[in-house]
Amino acid sequence: MKRLLQYTAWNWSMGRGPVTLLLVLGAAAECLLLFVAAASANQSALLYGDLVETAGILWVIAAVYLLLPICAQAVQERAAHMTRTSYTLFTLPLSRWELLLGRALSGVIWMILGMAVQTLVLVLLCGPILALQDSVSAGYFLFEVTEPGRLWWSLAECSVLRMMPPNSIPGVIFTAGMILIPSWMMPSAFTHTGWKRVTAFVIALVEQVSLFMLAYPALAGRTTWEQIGQSLQTSRGMGTFLFVLTGVAVAQILWGLWASYRSEAAA
């Protein structure tokens, strides 16, 4: 167990560079989009949660969500072709499934850190964005906003922030699935070579996109995780969709595990 966790930490540390760069670029893009949106008169009357959606933040979140598992594994994958790293991996006292598990766990850690960074960005920007909106809209509204706790209301009604982390059981289950599935599928894709790797990547990306589109209405505040869970229970189509998603993920992971035992790749 300890060796597995140590390998997880090593894999995590190898992805620090690309993932940090990805998260910084994502945060910078969100800052820019939010300030541009808040500076426009067209959006000066919107609530903070509506402004987050209108500014296109959800597309930045989608891009970071798709690229983060790849960035987390890219460095080790590239280094696996080098002598020292290959030697380390070949001589580690861990079985192949433990190596895959370790890489998946490091992906999970990076996903959680990504959520923390997203939360920090939205909380830190709230005050300045509200102030910018007030200055832009000052000439248009002949009344002052006097509701107490305006900052609290803005954060409480921001659907993206409220989902990180979710505060309901259906939300926890969905969020866990959205984190675990790509964290497992991307390292599994890296175990292949050639056209099999391309196929595995495409499957993993399609799965991630499907998961994100399932979560999009909740991120945009148009529905809640409870309502999505209810529709999954009552709607045959939605239930089938989720069953297919789960089946594809399990199949792709098992395929990667099988490939790693066939030693198709160094790691």
Partner 1 sequence: MKWNKLARPYRACLGTLAAGVALLLCGQACLYMAYPRQAVTLQLKTGNDKELEGFTLEGSWGQTASAAMEFTLSDGVLNQHPNLQSKQEDALSLMDQSLLCVPDEELASMDQQAEGGYVSGMYGAFFLHTSYEGMKYTAQARRLNQMYTLNTLDGSNRSVRFGLGQVQLPQAVTVTAELYKNGRARASYPYLMNAAELENADLGIREVTILDAEDPVGLYVSPGNGENGGIYLVREFCTAEEVAKVVPDVTVQGVAVPSENQPYGTVEAVCPLDAGESLIPCDNWGDARIEDGHWILTRQETGKINLLLLDKEWKPVGKCPLNISMNEYQSVTVLPSLRTDEIAFTVVDQSTTGQIVVLRINQNTIEAQSIMDFLATSAPIAAGYSADGTRLMTVTESRQSLMATLPAEVSGYYNGGAELPSDLSVLSSAVTGWDIQVYNTQDLQRPTLSACLDFGVSQRWRQELWLSGIYGGERRISLYRVTAAWEQAGEATA
CB of 49 to partner 1, least distance (A): 8
CB of 258 to partner 1, least distance (A): 27
Nearer to partner 1, 13 or 263 (CB): 13
Q: Which positions ≥6 away from 249 have C-beta within 8 Å? A: 181, 184, 185, 207
- Contacts within 8 Å (CB) and 24+ apart, 20-25: 21/71, 22/64, 22/67, 22/68, 22/71, 23/64, 23/68, 23/113, 23/114, 23/117
Nearer to partner 1, 249 or 267 (CB): 267
Q: By the criterion CB under 8 A, which residues form the site for partner 1?
A: 5-10, 12-13, 41-42, 44-47, 49-50, 84-85, 87-88, 106, 109, 112-113, 115-117, 119-120, 123, 137, 139-150, 152-157, 159, 161-162, 164-165, 167-168, 221, 224-227, 230-231, 234-238
Distance CA 36, CA 215 (A): 26
CB of 13 to partner 1, least distance (A): 3
3-class DSSP assignment, residue 87: helix
Nearer to partner 1, 139 or 194 (CB): 139
Nearer to partner 1, 226 or 254 (CB): 226
Taken in order 217, 219, 225, 229, is the CA torsion positive or negative? positive
CB of 252 to partner 1, least distance (A): 26
* Residues 14/124, Cβ–Cβ less than 8 Å: no
